[in-house]
Structure 1
């Protein structure tokens, strides 16, 4: 790694880090990947590569982005590629609220409550668990929990990148696990139901069908993530030699008063949003009265809600302790929060172009359909089929990160296939969710991978893609093995996977 981190450089992880870090800066890398995608689109198109889309039955061909129309799109849609880059708005809006809470001193005061006197191992488990639970708030965990994990470890005198890794593992590696239903559950269930109706027109898949298994998965991923952090990642990173965050002193009277004001402000804010969501005709419900089923106003409002849940208590805390004296202070904090995101904004521009080119070329769709066809042809059944399905899903996830887009392609192939073998559609969906989660943390194509590198660079300017991949690979392997083993145990014991869900038809 760098002079700020003493890393055991031997073994496969050391090799991965060295090779990965020889890659150029992420901005340069995404630029080169964009160029490579343009050239590859021409080559694959020249070869006439195509697949049959399992849903529409239409032929999907590789699109030559170096054609006249392709070049026109490259230039004319550059701005929309940037502004339409999925994580950009999420990150910036969330950081407005988090930045104010940080600069007023609220987050530091909360950290004092959390870390002073708490055992290190409990902190690690708490960080991983909080990361998993943050999935309820959609993608907010990436911009809130991941940097917070680094800060928590730093103030405990531990390596901040270990905290960042633990949080990232929970947020992204444990993406499907949760004690609560998330927005992903109804989304995937809808796609599964549509695919099941290819064979059974009356088949229904409620959002709760995987809930029991995902509750158990929450504790599994927490335990495994904690073990990997303590036994592999923290020892490998060694002692942090960068700028330490000062040791936290005990909470002052002013901070106690500020925390009380912040709590009151938080409760009032929560009450306000409860007023908008709890009633059956709540403003943030859709016309059918649904709150989280599908794309509802509440789901679409999640990021600004998260931002306000930090912003308003942050202001209340600042007024109480004197860090906010007038509106100019608030404006200054907002401006400085955005100024710190300059590097990420530049990265988002280049990454947005690459993601757009990759989607336009249809290469991701071709890979997904080809992977599905491969799994169909190997004629496996039972546990070997389930294991191979998880692995193939994880591999495809390296190139096509969207859980819904990937399942929209794979479900019409695998749900009917598994149904013909006697497996319930919701069980196929469950196996898919494991493969979809475990490789998120090692895919540079994952939209939030770039922001994680930006957070890590705060503690080590020489952090590269190799650093992050080699750090997260042990989590990915451990999650894949243990999560799949739990699925096999569930399969053999015929345990219920969720309300309304079963393993066999």
Structure 2
């Protein structure tokens, strides 16, 4: 998965996956799937670390921008009279610009602050046990026949928990499946598949949304006039909320009708760990009640300051959209998670003083070191894209290429989703991949009359569906270790073949949902339509 920064560290499964697997017998040739996976693994291993990848891209941009500047290349944005000259980074002006802006490029990069703020509050809620308790309370009450759908639906909201969902949800799903007399491996694999293949869906909002929209803002800024666009955290909310319901239903069907029947009858292994009791303790139930009451009061206060006529959080002219509620959704969500974590932690005595609160939030941020370094380099790359006007040049050329081959409208969106799906097999970091393709395709689609919200929605699909079957996903090996507790002879190829059941259906259905939004011109989020008024790109 690795789509967003996680407050939890990834366990090392090396001890459970390092045992050599016996080669196939001569009578059983190497399956085609294994050969394909081996090729993917070799190609993925050949890729550099994302930080090194962006460092190389920065150097390439420096050289290319300088060469284009010396050649006096100019670019005109279609629909405008503005002609922009390419600026070279390795010129005197370029070096002076970099010296003056290296730190501001990083300090003002939108994803940094938003993600760090969200991860502090979500990390507090996770470390007090609130998120796991909510999941236990939900899954433990689901009837046997409804259980696969409940697991799938909850898993499709999992990006709220960041990557910790890959560690928490699959074993919990296995427990409730076994308690209900169903195959625990179906819950284990199904939960993992729905977490990953539907990772960017959900009617919940978390750090992933802040990460996406921050990069989208920077990518859209490549074009003149983009500052007038209202890009906020909820630009995909209608799309992701509705998608999570459909994908949750689809995931439940695939678990119960496709995956579980193919696993055969379950035989309990003698050395399996004892079954954990999913029932909540009286203290946990009391914690959930108090947390629910506090959040209800908090939500009522926010709505009271937004909904009534003349309310202080209404936008210009008393509008709902845009409004301070949407532009300030990050601090509003921060307050919600902070209150929830504090209320639950104090009630169950997971927090006994301010030191515990500070420690929980600090530990969550401490795990972000790698992400911060990656964002430092990515911020420089995107800033050079903007300053040098190479981003404008690439966007104009990409839009012209798509038009020349007939890929406009939804066909262009479809091609983009498929491209991202392939890249996702090798670059599993969502922040790295969106930082890589966003600065080119967001403005390119804007030149084709499509909004940044549509580009971001399309990226969500490609960035999720294929991540569960790539050996580049570290959580795949963790899942294999979990599966081996029930099936000691399980192999990676077998595991991926089971997960592959979810990839194409999720990809096709999610594209169909986006097609419905596109075909009927439905808004993807509050104030975020499908199309873009070309007039908005003029000026600047």
Instruction: Quickly name the TM-score band, shorter chain normalised.
Output: 0.5 to 0.7
2:488 corresponds in structure 1 to none
Q: Which residue of 2 aligns with 1:57?
A: 81
- Please give the residue correspondences for 1:326-365 in structure 2 after superposition, counting only pairs within 5 Å: 326-365=353-392
Q: Tell me the CA shift for residue 371 of structure 1.
A: 2.5
The 5 A counterparts of 1:22-37 are 22-37=46-61
Describe the shift of the 1:105–1:127 C-alpha distance in structure 2 as closer, same or farther (beyond 3 A).
Answer: closer
Q: Which moved more, 1:259-268 or 1:365-374?
A: 365-374
Give the 3-state SS of the residue equivalent to 1:285 in structure 2: coil
Correspondence 1:92-107 to 2 at 5 A: 92-107=116-131
Kindly report which structure 2 residues correspond to 1:278-297, keeping only aligned pairs within 5 A, or say none: 278-291=307-320, 293-294=321-322, 296-297=323-324
Secondary structure of 2:55's aligned partner: helix
Contact 1:112–1:248 (CA<8 Å) still a contact in 2?
Answer: no
What is the distance in 2 between the residues matched to 1:282 and 1:247? 49
Match of 1:366 in 2: 393
Query: Cα distance 1:127–1:359, how it changes in 2: closer, same or farther (>3 A)?
Result: farther
Bigger drift between 93-102 and 325-334 goes to 325-334
Question: Which residue pairs with 1:320 in the alignment?
Answer: 347
Distance 2:188 2:393 in 1: 39
User: 2:396–2:447: 8 Å Cα contact kept in structure 1?
Assistant: no
Please list the CA deviations of residues 267-300 of structure 1 after superposition, one character each: whole Å capped at 9, or x if unmatched: 1211221222122222222232223x23x31112
TM-aligned CA distance change 1:150 to 1:311, over 3 Å: same
Kindly state the Cα deviation for residue 252 of structure 1 after the two structures are TM-superposed: 0.9
Pick aligned residue for 2:333 from 306, 311, 327: 306
1:156 is aligned to 2:159: no
Shift of 1:79: 1.6
Task: Kindly indicate whether the alpha-carbon contact (under 8 Å) linking 1:442 and 1:473 is maintained by their aligned counterparts in 2.
Answer: no
8 Å CA contact 1:130–1:145 kept in 2: the answer is no
Counterpart of 1:16 in structure 2 is: 40
Aligned to 1:195: none
**5 Å matches for 1:96-135?**
96-116=120-140, 121-127=148-154, 129-130=156-157
Equivalent of 1:74, from 64, 79, 98? 98
- Pairs within 5 Å for 1:228-239: none
Q: Tell me, in whole angstroms, the C-alpha distance in 2 between the residues paired with 1:319 and 1:175.
A: 28
Cα distance in 1 for partners of 2:66, 2:520 equals 49
Cα offset for 1:321?
A: 1.6
1:259 equivalenced with 2:288 (yes/no): yes
- Alignment deviations for residues 212-238 of structure 1 (CA, whole Å, 9 cap, x no partner): 999876655555667889989xx9xxx
Look up the match of 2:25: none
Q: Secondary structure at the match of 1:277?
A: coil
Aligned to 2:492: none
The 8 Å contact of residues 392 and 435 in structure 1, kept in 2 or not, is answered as: no
Cα 1:334/1:37, change in 2 over 3 Å: same
The DSSP-based 3-state class of the residue aligned with 2:75 is strand
| TM-superposition CA deviations, 1:91-138 (whole Å, max 9, x none) | 11111111221222222321221333657632553145436xxxxxxx
Task: Tell me how far apart the structure 2 counterparts of residues 350 and 254 of structure 1 sit (CA, whole Å).
Answer: 46
Q: Tell me, what secondary structure is at the counterpart of 1:51?
A: strand
Per the normalisation by structure 1, the TM-score is 0.65
Compared with structure 1, are the counterparts of its residues 79 and 256 closer, same or farther at alpha carbon in structure 2 (3 Å cutoff)? same
- Structure 2 distance, partners of 1:435, 1:268, is 36
* Unaligned 5+ runs, structure 1: 132-140, 189-209, 236-243, 416-427, 445-452, 461-469
- From 272, 275, 292, give the equivalent of 2:304: 275
Deviation, structure 1 residue 319: 1.7
Change (3 A) 1:80 1:170: farther
Number of paired residues? 417
The answer as to whether partners of 2:398 and 2:444 remain within 8 angstroms in 1 is no
Q: Which whole-Å CA distance do the structure 1 matches of 2:123 and 2:240 have between them?
A: 32
2:413 to 387, 390, 396: 390
Q: In the superposition, relative to structure 1, how do residues 484 and 300 fare at CA in structure 2: closer, same or farther (>3 Å)?
A: closer
Bigger mean CA offset, 221-230 vs 331-340: 221-230
| Paired position in structure 2 for 1:170 | 198
Aligned pairs (5 A) from 1:197-236: 220-222=246-248
Tell whether the 8 Å contact from 2:86 to 2:390 is kept in structure 1 after alignment. Answer: yes
Q: What is the CA RMSD across the aligned residues, in angstroms?
A: 5.1
